[in-house]
């Protein structure tokens, strides 16, 4: 049976995060964008909401709530509504924690997850992207070579959110000659380990509050049992599906924020004797923005629901991400256009949203095209 209804818990989670997003994230978005930094008191507040530990198993000290990608998508959409850059910083640890919950061995969970259940904020992150234009497993240059029983990692990772602050990283690397994604594994790497160098990436365009870093791995030794999963390590395809869904959900939230900000302006701003919302070229623009945003959202939910139902969400997640990558920038662009010259000035959010959206949806845009 098909249903678009949310459970009571999902509604609650979404509402909590939506109010956090509007009161805490949206209000700090501009200053964080300019400072290219997330304020630590905000990161503390975000941590105190307890979402990082929510789905960590009880025997590791967490909330034990079942993992659901639909719930994750709802959370990220709510956060993206406030500020995608700050959200990426405030919840970067989840990029480490959730894959451990989903794919980690029993022993890895017990070893690494309890530290994320305390009151004190713990930063961790995911090192996925490289210098290449798109995430292309065939071209992943970071290698994990066998070394006795363990591994040696070499390569350069880019756009690691909160990379400078992370104490642990989940690093994706090519571990065998198996073709495509089958040869990729995820490794748990201590950011203090010998050979790891982390430096701020100099990006200026968008999501500047996310604290993107470049991570150099020079002959970094990783013990055999720190390959994510049991034995030879887990297939990382479900992880990639969840990342696609999460990124797309953030973009849906951001798109929704653009529309909700543009509508009242269009109804108030008068040109040629009437509000510009009464001009068809503006009214239709808003209608199209609304249509596309809804389409994006249902594509994302569908992919998330596939995963939650235990089915392979790879295809659905690619479709959702591709669709979002194609349409979300247009929404942000039209949002700015409706504000005319005022949209181009760094006082109002539309120009910031367009920059953020461009970065959020550039990754893999060509691969998906």
- The residues of the shown chain that bind another protein, judged by CB under 8 A, are 129-134, 158-159, 201-207, 212, 214, 269-273, 279, 281-282, 325, 329, 333, 336-337, 340-341, 343-347, 351, 354-355, 358-359, 362-363, 365-366, 369
- Other beta carbons within 10 angstroms of residue 271's beta carbon come to 11
Q: Which does 77 bind (CB under 5 to 8 A by kind): another protein, ligand FAD, none?
A: none
CB of 276 vs ligand FAD, minimal distance in Å: 4
Distance CA 188, CA 168 (A): 7
Q: Which does 363 bind (CB under 5 to 8 A by kind): another protein, ligand FAD, none?
A: another protein
Residue closer to ligand FAD by CB (options 60, 266) is 266
Nearest CA-CA partner of 187 in 147, 229, 132, 130: 229
User: Should residue 276 be labelled a site residue for ligand FAD when binding is judged by CB under 6 A?
Assistant: yes
Judged by CB under 6 A, the number of residues near ligand FAD is 13
Q: Which does 290 bind (CB under 5 to 8 A by kind): another protein, ligand FAD, none?
A: none
Of 14, 267, 290, 342, the residue at the interface with ligand FAD (CB under 6 A) is 342
User: Should residue 86 be labelled a site residue for ligand FAD when binding is judged by CB under 6 A?
Assistant: no
User: Segment contacting ligand FAD (CB under 6 A): 12-20, 185-193, 272-280, 291-299?
Assistant: 272-280
Nearest CA-CA partner of 88 in 243, 297, 320: 243
Residue 76 three-state SS? helix
| 293-358-260 Cα angle (round to 5) | 35
Residue closer to ligand FAD by CB (options 94, 286) is 286
Q: Which does 346 bind (CB under 5 to 8 A by kind): another protein, ligand FAD, none?
A: another protein
Of 15, 223, 268, 344, the residue at the interface with ligand FAD (CB under 6 A) is 344
Distance CA 321, CA 313 (A): 12
User: Should residue 279 be labelled a site residue for ligand FAD when binding is judged by CB under 6 A?
Assistant: yes
Residue 15 three-state SS? helix
Joined tokens for residue 51: 């979402």
Beta pairing, strands 143-147 & 150-160: antiparallel
For residues 289 and 252, the answer to whether their CB atoms sit within 8 Å is: no
Of 177, 341, 347, 369, the residue at the interface with ligand FAD (CB under 6 A) is 341
Length of the chain: 369
| Per-residue interface string for the shown chain with ligand FAD, residues 320-339, x marking contact by CB under 6 A | -----------------xx-
Residue closer to ligand FAD by CB (options 30, 279) is 279
Distance CA 157, CA 131 (A): 7
Residue closer to ligand FAD by CB (options 187, 265) is 265
Distance CA 157, CA 275 (A): 49
Can you give the C-alpha Rg of the chain in angstroms?
21
User: Should residue 281 be labelled a site residue for ligand FAD when binding is judged by CB under 6 A?
Assistant: yes
User: Should residue 271 be labelled a site residue for ligand FAD when binding is judged by CB under 6 A?
Assistant: yes
CB of 240 vs another protein, minimal distance in Å: 16
Residue 297 three-state SS? helix
| CA 21 to centroid of chain Cα atoms | 15
E strands, 61-167, are 124-127, 143-147, 150-160
> Among positive and negative, which fits the CA dihedral 105, 111, 112, 114?
positive
Of 269, 290, 302, 358, the residue at the interface with ligand FAD (CB under 6 A) is 269
Residues that bind ligand FAD (CB under 6 A): 269, 271-272, 276, 279, 281-282, 337-338, 340-342, 344
């Amino acid at each position: 049976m098909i249903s678009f209804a949310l459970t009571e818990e999902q509604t609650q989670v979404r509402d909590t995060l939506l109010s956090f997003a509007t009161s805490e994230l949206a209000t700090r978005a501009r200053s964080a964008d300019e400072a290219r930094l997330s304020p630590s008191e905000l990161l503390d507040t975000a941590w105190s909401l307890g979402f990082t530990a929510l789905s960590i198993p009880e025997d590791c000290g967490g909330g034990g709530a079942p993992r659901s990608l639909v719930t994750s998508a709802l959370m990220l959409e709510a956060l993206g509504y406030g500020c995608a850059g700050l959200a990426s910083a405030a919840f970067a640890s989840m990029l480490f924690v959730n894959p451990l919950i989903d794919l980690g061995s029993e022993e890895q969970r017990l070893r690494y997850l309890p530290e994320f259940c305390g009151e004190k904020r713990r930063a961790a992150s995911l090192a996925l992207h490289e210098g290449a234009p798109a995430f292309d497993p065939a071209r992943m240059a970071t290698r994990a070579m066998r070394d006795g029983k363990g591994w040696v990692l070499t390569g350069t990772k880019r756009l690691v959110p909160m990379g400078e602050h992370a104490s642990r990283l989940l690093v994706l690397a090519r571990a065998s000659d198996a073709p495509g994604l089958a040869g990729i594994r995820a490794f748990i790497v201590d950011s203090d380990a010998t050979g790891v160098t982390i430096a701020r990436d100099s990006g200026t365009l968008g999501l500047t509050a996310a604290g993107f870093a470049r991570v150099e791995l020079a002959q970094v030794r990783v013990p055999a049992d720190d390959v994510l999963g049991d034995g030879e390590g887990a297939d990382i395809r479900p992880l990639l599906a969840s990342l696609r869904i999460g990124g797309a959900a953030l973009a849906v939230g951001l798109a929704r924020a653009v529309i909700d900000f543009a509508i009242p302006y269009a109804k108030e701003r008068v040109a040629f004797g009437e509000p510009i919302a009464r001009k068809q070229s503006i009214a239709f623009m808003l209608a199209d923005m609304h249509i596309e945003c809804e389409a994006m959202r249902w594509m994302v939910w569908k992919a998330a629901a596939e995963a939650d139902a235990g089915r392979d969400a790879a295809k659905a997640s690619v479709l959702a991400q591709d669709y979002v990558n194609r349409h979300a920038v247009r929404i942000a662009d039209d949002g700015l256009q409706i504000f005319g010259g005022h949209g181009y000035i760094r006082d109002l959010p539309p120009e910031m949203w367009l920059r953020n959206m461009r970065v959020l949806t550039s990754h893999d845009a060509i691969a998906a095209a």
